[in-house]
Amino acid sequence: MPSQNDDSGSPWGSPSQSSPDLELALKESVDRLKGLFGGGSGNNNGTGLVKILTIGLLLFVALSIWSAYYTVPSDSVAVVQRFGNHLKEVPPGLHFKLPLGIDKTTIVPVKRQLKQEFGFATLGARDPYQGTRDGGRETQMVTGDLNAALVEWVVQYRISDPVKFLFEVREPAETLRYVSESVMREVVGDRTVDEVITIGRQEIEVEALIKMQELSTKYVMGISIDQVQLKNINPPRPVQESFNEVNQAQQSKEKLINEARREYNKVIPLAEGEKDQRIREADGYRLKRINEAEGDALRFNALFAEYQKAPEVTRRRIYIETMQSVLPEITSKVLMDDSVPGLLPLLNLNRQKEQQQ
């Protein structure tokens, strides 16, 4: 005979006392588990469960290993975060991290030169750091003389501090784009349209570079700007034809001025050279005549001094020296004796010799 504790040993009462609804629910649950794990006997159910758990464990391990290693390119570094908090910077190469999203890595190209284009886009260039663009609005600017111009430019920069680049500013590429546009409008607004289009391009590039770097440092963006380069600068389309005509007229004017200067530089130096040559020749002739005159005067004074000492001797010596210089130049000579009362017929030997030859 059963004791009194038999009825109260189970919280659900004895099997004979269980309700039909409860038995039906338990049966349905068992059938669902059998269908989930492959059905069959109790041993088969256990084997199926082990297989599923094994497959799940293998998948978990494979997923953990696959997400545990990563590669950093040679021109980049990886910023590692653990549960969202900055942990360290990793150099290029193969590295490992805690899997399943515990560690998160962000590749930052610190050694690569990045660029942002304003007003145009290079075909095939996909730069994740380019930022959004509105070329039509970006290029519309007003110069210092209240003229409109369409300015296109390029900003080339590098990421100098990846931690500041990622965590100090929410959208660093977009912020740099706004900074660049603001600085360019300021610099262009301080100059005339002629300076912007022609002679002031280099000054605009240098000044814009300095101001962009100052703002990047002020906003702690972790960016180093290498170069600012102006591209196409055009007037607005409604006045572009008239502006081109003005430019052509100015170019024609400058061309004519340059041609005139070329002719001037060609003729004037030649005339100045000839003038200097004539002046030097005149100076040489003047010095020559002065020196000759002074020499003749000295020679005359010396002869006069000797003449005063011995007039007859000096007169004869002067006569002989003069004859020595004059007679060799005379081809026909006639010698006469003062004692002969008249002229004798002479035979011209020199003329006959010339006729025979």
Q: What is the DSSP string of 108-132?
A: E-TTS-EEEEES---TT---TTS--
* Predicted local distance difference test score (pLDDT) of residue 65: 73
Residues 6+ apart with CB under 8 A from 239: 148
More confident residue, 236 or 72: 72
- The model's confidence at residue 350, banded by pLDDT at 50, 70 and 90, is low
How far is Cα 192 from Cα 86, in angstroms, rounded to an integer?
48
* Predicted local distance difference test score (pLDDT) of residue 287: 93
Give me the long-range contacts of 57-61 (CB less than 8 A, separation at least 24).
none
More confident residue, 309 or 288: 288
In this predicted structure, the answer to whether residue 181 has a pLDDT above a threshold of 70 is yes
Average pLDDT for 340-356: 57
Average pLDDT for 124-130: 61
- Which residue, among 177, 168, 178, 170, has the nearest Cα to 222 in the 3D structure? 168
How much of the chain, in percent, has pLDDT values that exceed 70? 76
Summarised one tens digit per residue, pLDDT across range 263-300 is 999 899 889 889 999 999 999 999 999 999 999 899 88
* Predicted local distance difference test score (pLDDT) of residue 34: 55
Q: What is the dihedral of CA 24, 27, 29, 35, to 10 degrees?
A: -140
How far is Cα 22 from Cα 44, in angstroms, rounded to an integer?
26
Q: Which of 60-64, 98-102, 197-201, 259-263 has the highest mean pLDDT?
A: 259-263
Summarised one tens digit per residue, pLDDT across range 197-219 is 888 899 999 999 999 999 999 99
Output the pTM of the full model: 0.54
Give the Cα-Cα-Cα angle 110, 111, 112 (nearest 5 degrees). 100
In this predicted structure, the answer to whether residue 315 has a pLDDT above a threshold of 60 is yes
Compute CA distances 172 → 82, 179, 220, 223, whole Å: 22, 10, 10, 9
* Predicted local distance difference test score (pLDDT) of residue 114: 92
In this predicted structure, the answer to whether residue 234 has a pLDDT above a threshold of 70 is yes
* Predicted local distance difference test score (pLDDT) of residue 32: 60
DSSP tag of 160 = S
pLDDT-wise least confident of 6-15, 30-39, 221-230: 6-15
More confident residue, 156 or 330: 156
Is there a contact between 116 and 177 (Cβ–Cβ < 8 Å)?
Answer: yes
72 Ramachandran zone, left/alpha/beta (phi>0; psi -120 to 50): beta
- The model's confidence at residue 349, banded by pLDDT at 50, 70 and 90, is low
Write the single-letter amino acid at 263. E
How far is Cα 113 from Cα 91, in angstroms, rounded to an integer?
18
Beta 93-96 vs 140-142: how paired, if at all? unpaired
Write the single-letter amino acid at 85. N
